[in-house]
């Protein structure tokens, strides 16, 4: 019996290309774990509510902007308010990831950003997947909320994303799809 492959949507916004690189790494982790999964990787401002409805698993990625998500991601979330009224995303699997600079080593509000993405998924009745501290790469690019890549130097200037942070993103992608598959098997 042939079943429809799991549909994964990875919607993101990227200012300097770092969040996009992280999204691609997450997709690579998913593909390495299950090559039969169908992955739709696209920018937030090119994503519609119908894309979310069609997906079984949804991941959102954003750079941190002054302690919050990019407006393009927030607009997508606001455009999907109708889906909340219809319970259209209930039971789907969700995950979040972020990049950001900020001064010093504080991360510029990444935990607030990831928590707000989780909150949105929970409002929709979705099952949210965090990033366990035992996962490969957690120490280099992880928070319990999901993978995070600090991409700015200590002066707040762009410094790029490291291979270790991309490895953490791949690990998260593998983890999310494993959880989604376990839930869909029940």
pLDDT digits (tens, 9 = 90+) for 146-167: 999 988 877 777 888 999 999 9
Between CA 146 and CA 51 the distance in angstroms is 22
- Tracing tokens 């366990």 back to the chain, one arrives at 132
Q: Evaluate whether residue 52 is within a structural domain.
A: yes
Q: Evaluate whether residue 1 is within a structural domain.
A: no
Q: Considering its fold, how many domains does the chain have in total? A: 1
Q: What is the crossing angle of helices 18-33 and 163-185, to 10°?
A: 50
Residue 125 neighbours by CB under 8 Å, 6+ apart:
87, 89, 90, 91
Of 116, 137, 138, 139, nearest to 128 by C-alpha is 116
Q: Evaluate whether residue 39 is within a structural domain.
A: yes
Q: Looking at residues 78-85, what average pLDDT do you find?
A: 96
Residue 1 has pLDDT above 80, yes or no: no
pLDDT tens-digit map of 6-41: 999 999 999 999 999 999 999 999 999 999 999 999
The CATH code of the domain that includes 28 is 3.40.50.360
Range of the domain at 68: 7-185
Q: Evaluate whether residue 107 is within a structural domain.
A: yes
pLDDT tens-digit map of 126-149: 999 999 999 999 999 989 999 999
Q: Looking at residues 43-63, what average pLDDT do you find?
A: 98
């Amino acid at each position: 019996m042939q079943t429809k492959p799991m549909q994964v949507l990875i919607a993101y916004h990227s200012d300097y290309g770092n969040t996009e690189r992280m999204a691609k790494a997450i997709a690579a982790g998913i593909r390495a774990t299950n090559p039969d999964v169908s992955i739709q990787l696209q920018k937030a401002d090119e994503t519609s509510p119908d894309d979310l409805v069609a997906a079984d698993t949804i991941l959102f990625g954003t750079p941190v902007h002054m302690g919050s998500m990019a407006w393009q991601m927030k607009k997508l979330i606001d455009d999907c308010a109708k889906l909340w009224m219809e319970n259209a995303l209930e039971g789907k699997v969700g995950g979040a990831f972020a990049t950001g600079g900020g001064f010093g080593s504080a991360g510029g509000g990444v935990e607030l950003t990831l928590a707000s993405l989780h909150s949105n998924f929970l409002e929709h009745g979705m099952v949210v997947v965090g990033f366990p501290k035992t996962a490969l790469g957690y120490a280099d690019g992880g928070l319990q909320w999901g993978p995070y890549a600090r991409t700015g130097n200590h002066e707040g200037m762009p410094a790029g994303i490291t291979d270790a942070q991309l490895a953490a993103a791949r690990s998260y992608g593998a983890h999310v799809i494993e959880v989604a598959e376990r839930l869909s098997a029940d």
